[in-house]
Chain A
Amino acid sequence: MKYVDEFRDPEKAKVLLHEIEALVGCIEVCKQRPLQLMEVCGGHTHSIFKYGIEPMLPKSIEFVHGPGCPVCVLPMGRVDDCVALAEHPQVIFTTFGDAMRVPGSKKNLLQAKADGADVRMVYSPMDALKLAREHPDKEVVFFALGFETTMPSTALTVLQAEREGIKNFSLFCNHITIIPTIKAILDSPELTLDGFLGPGHVSMVIGTEPYEFIARHYRKPIVVAGFEPLDILQSVWMVLKQIAEGRCEVENQYQRIVPETGNDQALSAVSRVFELREFFEWRGLGSIDHSGIRLRESYGRFDAERKFSVPNLKIADPKSCQCGEVLKGVIKPWECKVFGRACTPETPLGALMVSSEGACAAYYNYGGVEMARLIRERADETPLEARQIA
Chain B
Amino acid sequence: MSQVFDLEAHPELSPIRRRSGKLRDTRITLSHGSGGKAMRDLIDDIFVGNFDNPALSLLEDQARFNLADLLAHGDRLAFTTDSYVVDPLFFPGGDIGALAVNGTVNDLAVSGARPLYLSCGMILEEGLDVEMLRRVALSMAKAARAAGVAIVTGDTKVVHRGAADKLFINTAGMGVIPKGVNIEASRARPGDVILVNGTIGDHGAAILSARQDLALDAPIQSDCQPLHGLISAMLAVCPDIHCLRDATRGGIATVLNEIAQSSSVCMRFTESSLPVNEVVKGVCEILGLDPLYMANEGKLIAVVPKEHATAVLAAMRAHPAGRDAAIIGEVSAAPAGVALLSTLFGGERIVDMLVGEQLPRIC
Contact = CB atoms under 8 A, between A and B. Distances in A.
A345 B282 CA distance: 26
Given A52-B343, A127-B213, A368 B349 contact: yes
A313 interface: no
A10 B349 contact: no
Given A123-B214, A376-B337, A369 B344 contact: no
A8 B350 contact: no
B180 interface: no
Contacts of A123: 213-214
Given A1-B282, A1-B285, A229 B345 contact: yes
Most buried by A among B285, B343, B345, B348: B345
B162 interface: no
Given A372-B338, A373-B335, A365 B344 contact: no
Interface string A50-85: 111101100000000000000000000000000000
A101 interface: yes
Interface size of B as a range: 20 to 34
Nearest to A228: B345
Contact of A52 (B214, B281, B347, B356): B347
Given A1-B281, A1-B282, A13 B356 contact: no
B72 interface: no
A138 to B, nearest CB: 17
Given A345-B355, A369-B350, A51 B343 contact: yes
B346 interface: yes
B303 interface: no
Interface string B326-363: 00000000010110100111111110100110000000
B338 A10 contact: no
Interface in B193-237: 213-214
B346 A13 contact: yes
Contacts of A8: 344-345
A72 B53 CA distance: 58
Nearest to B338: A372
B77 to A, nearest CB: 36
A3 B240 CA distance: 44
Contacts of B345: 8, 10, 13, 51-52, 229
Nearest to A356: B288
A164 interface: no
Given A1-B278, A10-B344, A101-B356, A372 B213 contact: no
Interface in A244-269: none
A106 to B, nearest CB: 20
B344 A346 contact: no
B349 A56 contact: no
A302 to B, nearest CB: 23
A192 B68 CA distance: 79
Contact of B350 (A127, A229, A368): A368
Nearest to B290: A50
A366 interface: yes
A11 to B, nearest CB: 9
A176 B281 CA distance: 32
B347 A53 contact: yes
Given A123-B214, A373-B335, A56 B347 contact: yes
Contacts of A384: none
A1 B283 CA distance: 11
A369 B282 CA distance: 29
A52 B213 CA distance: 34
A83 B182 CA distance: 51
B351 to A, nearest CB: 9
Given A1-B281, A369-B338, A376-B337, A56 B346 contact: yes
A4 interface: yes
Interface string A125-168: 00100000000000000000000000000000000000000000
Contacts of B346: 10, 13-14, 52, 56
Interface string A100-137: 01000000000000000000000100010000000000
Interface string A341-358: 000011000000000100
A127 B213 CA distance: 8
Contacts of B352: 365, 372
Contacts of B344: 8, 10
Contacts of B337: 376
A278 B340 CA distance: 48
A24 to B, nearest CB: 19
Contacts of B347: 51-53, 55-56
Contact of A366 (B213, B214, B349): B349
Nearest to B284: A1
A39 B93 CA distance: 43
A18 to B, nearest CB: 13
Nearest to A8: B345
Nearest to A127: B213
A264 B213 CA distance: 30
B355 A366 contact: no
Given A345-B355, A369-B340, A376-B337, A52 B348 contact: yes
Nearest to B287: A123
Contacts of A371: 350
Most buried by B among A4, A10, A49: A10
A371 B340 CA distance: 13
A207 to B, nearest CB: 25
Nearest to B352: A365
A372 B285 contact: no
Contacts of B288: 356
Interface in B66-86: none
Nearest to A373: B335
Nearest to A348: B355
Contacts of B214: 123
Contacts of A367: 350
A234 to B, nearest CB: 14
Nearest to A55: B347
Nearest to A375: B352
Given A4-B285, A8-B344, A13-B345, A346 B355 contact: yes
Contacts of B338: 369, 372
Contacts of B282: 1
Contacts of A14: 346
A346 B213 CA distance: 27
Contacts of A365: 350, 352
B23 to A, nearest CB: 33
A58 to B, nearest CB: 15
Given A13-B345, A369-B350, A371-B350, 5 more contacts: A1-B278, A10-B344, A10-B346, A56-B347, A229-B345
Closest 5 CB pairs of A and B: A52-B347, A10-B346, A345-B355, A51-B345, A372-B350
Interface of B: 213-214, 278, 281-282, 285, 288, 335, 337-338, 340, 343-350, 352, 355-356
